């Protein structure tokens, strides 16, 4: 056996023991990075004022445009949430089907953009405070989406 073989084995043992000693640190790092809903960010509201929001990622379950109620299933916990949306109070973005590189803003509660803003199965990112949705981005599956723009 060569002398450098012994050196490689010793280095391997040292690295393995350090990793075993610190595995609780690695587990904590993994737990904090896998939860999407724990993220917070600074977001501008409809008036341009900065506000701290919680990020919620989810899939659309149901969209009731006549009442402005969006129900989603949270992406990493399958928890159901219901939000009341108002374009005057929230920034709402949807993708365009006619022009894939275009993002459309929903600015009023009438018309096809509002009626077909969300489809079941759409992937949405919601930025919310405790009591309201500040912004919502429909990254969309768009099976039922607005096809006019």
- Check which CATH number belongs to the domain holding 127 and give it: 2.40.50
| Over residues 74-81, mean pLDDT | 86
Q: Are residues 59 and 109 in the same domain?
A: yes
The total of structural domains in the chain comes to: 2
Taking the C-alpha atoms of residue 141 and residue 149, their distance in angstroms, rounded to an integer, is 16
> Can you tell me the distance from the alpha carbon of 146 to that of 3, in angstroms, rounded to the nearest whole number?
71
| Residue 133 forms part of a structural domain | yes
Report residue 34's pLDDT band, with 50, 70 and 90 as the boundaries: very low
26 and 73 belong to one structural domain = no
**Do 63 and 126 share a domain, yes or no?**
yes
- Asked if residue 84 and residue 19 are part of one domain, the reply reads no
Work out the angle between the directed axes of helices 23-34 and 3-21 (0-180°, nearest 10).
Answer: 60
Q: Do 27 and 48 belong to one domain? A: no
pLDDT of residue 64: 95
User: Is 119 contained in some domain?
Assistant: yes
12 vs 63: which has the higher pLDDT: 63
Q: Is residue 146 part of a domain?
A: no
User: pLDDT higher for 110 or 21?
Assistant: 110
Q: Could you tell me which residue, 16 or 15, shows the higher pLDDT?
A: 15
| Whether the predicted pLDDT of 30 surpasses 60 | no
Query: Hey, what are 131's tokens?
Result: 């009591």
Residues 96 and 68 in one domain: yes
Pairing between β-strand 133-138 and β-strand 91-95 as defined by DSSP bridges: parallel
Residues 13 and 81 both lie in one domain: no
Residue 149 falls inside a structural domain: no
Domain boundaries, position 89: 36-138
pTM summary value: 0.68
Same domain? 89 vs 76: yes
In terms of domains, do 22 and 61 share one? no
The model's pLDDT over 115-149, given as tens digits with 9 standing for 90+, comes to 989 989 899 999 988 878 999 999 866 667 655 55
Tell me, yes or no, whether 44 and 74 share the same domain.
yes
């Amino acid at each position: 056996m060569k002398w450098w073989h012994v050196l490689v084995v010793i280095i391997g043992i040292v690295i393995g023991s350090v990793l075993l000693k610190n595995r609780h640190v690695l587990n904590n790092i993994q737990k904090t990075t896998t939860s999407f809903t724990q993220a917070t960010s600074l977001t501008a509201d409809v008036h341009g004022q900065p506000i701290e929001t919680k990020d919620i990622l989810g899939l659309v379950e149901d969209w009731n445009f006549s009442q402005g109620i969006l129900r989603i299933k949270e992406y990493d916990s399958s928890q159901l949430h219901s939000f009341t949306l108002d374009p005057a109070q929230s920034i709402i973005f949807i993708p365009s089907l006619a022009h894939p590189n275009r993002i459309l803003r929903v600015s009023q509660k009438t018309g096809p953009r509002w009626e077909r803003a969300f489809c079941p199965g759409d992937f949405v990112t919601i930025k919310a405070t405790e009591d309201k949705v500040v912004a919502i981005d429909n990254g969309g599956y768009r099976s039922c989406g607005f096809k006019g723009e």
